[in-house]
Structure 1
C-alpha cells in the first residue's frame, strides 16, 4: 500500500500536473541545464492510437483515419470510407502499476464529398490513491481521472486543400477535494480549440498507380488557462502545440505501398524563466511569446523542437508493418525512443498494435516503455476507392 501511495503521488505531483513548478535556468545562456516547459493536463499530448504510436508518433500528414480528429481534423474530407470508428487502450506505467491507463474512442462521418465531422472521447485514469496526511492518518481512497470531449468540422476548399476546426472540453480531477496548505484542490476545467489544414496531391505513374504527397499543419489546445485552486495566480497553461508534417507514399506496384512521414512539434507555451514571471502571461500572449522567450536565446528555441519520423509498409491493403523514432532534446525532456508495430485489415475490421523501446543511455524513462498497446478500427459506409486506400 505504501509503495502504491508513493507512486501515485509522484505520478500526480511530479509528472502530470504543474500546480507549482520551478526550474533552474540562466538568464543569459542555457548553459547545458535542463529547462523543461511545464503545462497542465499533459494527457492531451499522449498519442491516442496504435497506428501513429508505431510510427514514432507521426500523424499530422499520414492518410486520414478515424483518429484524425486528434492529429489533423482537416484530413477527414479526403478519407476513403464514408465513416469510421476507432477504439484504443493504452496501459500507462505498466512496469510500476496495473490500473493506470488511457482509453480513446473516436470517429467521423463524411456528410458529402466536401464535408466531414468528427468526435472523440479521451479518458485518462490514474488508478486508486490512498490519501494520508503527515501524521499518516488515512484520508480515504480516491480515483483521479481526466477526460476530454472533442467535436469538429472539416471542409475541402479545393480539389487538394482542406481546413478544419475542433472544439474541446477538458476536465481534470486529480485530488478530489483534498487540501494543500489550507487551499482546497478542486477539479480543473477548460475549453480549447484546434485549427488545422491539409494538402494532398497524387502523382500518376505509367504503371497505373500513383504516388501521393501529403502536407499538414495543426495548432491544438488553443484555449483558456486551467487552475486547480481558486487562486488566479495558480493558473497553468494548456499544452498548446504547433505541428507541421509531411508524408510521401510510394506506390511500388498494385499490391505494395511504402510511406515515409515526418512531424515537427513545438509547444506554444512560455519557456520557464528564473523568476517565474512567465506564468503571469495570458494564454494568447504565451502563444506568441513562445517563439522568442527562451532564456538561452535562439539556440534554446531550436532545442524546443520535437521530431518524429515514421514509415508504413502495406501489402495488398491487408497487412502493414510500421516503425518510427521520436527525438526530444536532452535539455527539454530528453525523450528518445524507437517504435514498431503491425496492422491487420479484413473487410471493414482492423487491428493495430504498437510497441515502444527507449533509445540511448540517460534518456527520460518513458511511461510506455516495453508496453504493447492496440487499436480496433471499423470502416463504415463503404469506400470510394478501396484499391488506393493507404491506411486505417
Structure 2
C-alpha cells in the first residue's frame, strides 16, 4: 500500500455525490468510534443501554457494577478493508473483575493495525516499509449506587503512529476519560414481564492530538451516547430485546458559507478559529455551531437500532440498522448476527450490508469470544450468560 492511502483508510465519513453540500465532522483517531465487539455490531452499533458483558466499559462504564460474573473476558477482531487488503484489522481485548458486590474494575486494549505501507519518493523509488498502528489502553471502574442505578469512569491512554518519526511528523499521544450512567428496572405491564434499561455516556474527553506541532492539533472523537433497551419475556424460554441509541460528536462543526468555496478567506479563518477551541469550548459549542442551524444539528446525530432474540439464554439472533445523514458522512447499513452462550464460553458474529461498498467493513465478519467465570447468581439473579440484567 502507498502512503497516500492513509487518509482514506482511517476516514469514517463516506460522502454522497448526490448531496450538494457535504459537511462531515472529522477528528483524530476516528477508529475509536467503531464498536469493537460483534454483538453491538449486529445491533447497528447500539450498546450504551444493552445488558452488561465483558465489553460493557467501551459503551458505558456505568454498566460495570451490574456484571454478574466474578471474572469475564472478551476478545474481538474486525477485518478492515478486507476486499482490498489482508493485513489490516481492529482487535479488542477486555476483562472485568468484580470488586465486592457492587463494584467492578475493567481493563481493555484497542489495537488498530493498518498493515504495511511502502514509502516511495517523487520518482517512484522505494524508500522502505512502515507498519502504521494506533492503540488505546483503558482502565475503568463502575459502581452500583442502588439496585437499579450505576455510574462509572474510564481513563484512557491513546497512541497513534501513522508515519514513524521523521522531520515532519511524529507519533501522537493523548489521554482521555469516559463518564457513564446506567439505569435498569424490571417491570410488569399487564401479564407481561419487561426489563427497561437506560444509558448515557460521554467518551473520549481529553486533550487534542497532534502529529506535527501543538498549533495544528485535532480534537479527539468526544462523543455523547444516549440509549435504551427494552426486553420482553415471551415465555420461560424466549425473550426479545429492542435497542436504540443516538450518538453525537461533541466537537466543532465544519464552517461553510453557501455559494462559497472552502478556500474562501472568511471560511478558512472561521474554521481555523474553531480548530483552536479548547476542550470545554469545543464540547459546548458543538450543540449550536452548525452553519445550517438547528436542522443541521439534528443531522449530526447518528441513530442505531436493533432487535435481539434470545432462546433459553443459549442462542441469540440479531438484526440492526445504522443511520448517518448523507450530509455528515452517509454511513447507512443493515447488520446481522448470531450468538451462542454455553457454560463459561460464548461467541458472537456479525455481518453488515452497507449502502456503499466503500465502507471499510463491507463483506467482513466480525467475531467476539467470551469467557465468563463464577457467576454471582445469588447476588444479582438472572441467567448465566450475561445477556440480561434481570
Structure-1-length-normalised TM-score: 0.90
Separation in 1 of the partners of 2:169 and 2:384? 52
The residue aligned with 2:164 is 176
Shift of 1:386: 4.7
Q: Of residues 208, 220, 224 in structure 1, which corresponds to 2:203?
A: 220
C-alpha distance 270-205 of structure 1, shift in aligned 2 (>3 A): closer
**Given the alignment of the two structures, is residue 340 of structure 1 paired with residue 328 of structure 2, yes or no?**
no
Q: Deviations over 1:71-127 (max 9, x none)?
A: 001112112222210000110000010000001000111112211111100000000
CA distance in 2, matches of 1:206, 1:309: 26
| Matching of residues 365-376 of structure 1 within 5 Å | 365-376=358-369
Query: Paired residue for 1:110?
Result: 98
1:202 pairs with 2:202: no
1:138 matched to 2:107? The reply is no
Give the alignment's Cα RMSD to 1 decimal: 2.0
Counterpart secondary structure, 1:53: helix
In the superposition, relative to structure 1, how do residues 210 and 307 fare at CA in structure 2: closer, same or farther (>3 Å)?
same
CA positional deviation for 1:387: 3.1
From 343, 350, 353, the counterpart of 2:346? 350
Where do 5+ consecutive residues of structure 1 fail to align? 24-30
Pairing of 1:226-305 with structure 2 (within 5 A): 226-229=209-212, 231-273=213-255, 274-275=267-268, 276-277=271-272, 278-305=274-301
- In 1, the alpha carbon distance for the partners of 2:178 and 2:65 equals 17
Determine helix, strand or coil for the equivalent of 2:101. Answer: coil
CA-to-aligned-CA distance 1:332-360 (integer Å, 9 cap, x gap): 0000000001001111100100001013x
Which residue of structure 2 aligns with residue 92 of structure 1? 80
How many residues align? The count is 367
Matching of residue 381 in structure 1 with residue 374 in structure 2: yes
Asked if the contact 2:299/2:325 (under 8 Å) is kept, the reply is yes
2:137 is aligned to 149
The answer on whether the counterparts of 1:335 and 1:364 sit within 8 Å (CA) in structure 2 is no
Match of 1:9 in 2: 4
1:140–1:258: structure 2 CA closer, same or farther, 3 Å change rule? same
Q: Which residue number in structure 1 is paired with residue 263 of structure 2?
A: none
- 1:79/1:260 CA distance change after superposition, 3 Å: same
Contact 2:173–2:209 under 8 Å retained in 1 = yes
Rounded Cα–Cα distance in structure 2 between residues aligned with 1:383 and 1:156: 15
User: Given the two structures, how large is their TM-score scaled by the length of structure 2?
Assistant: 0.90
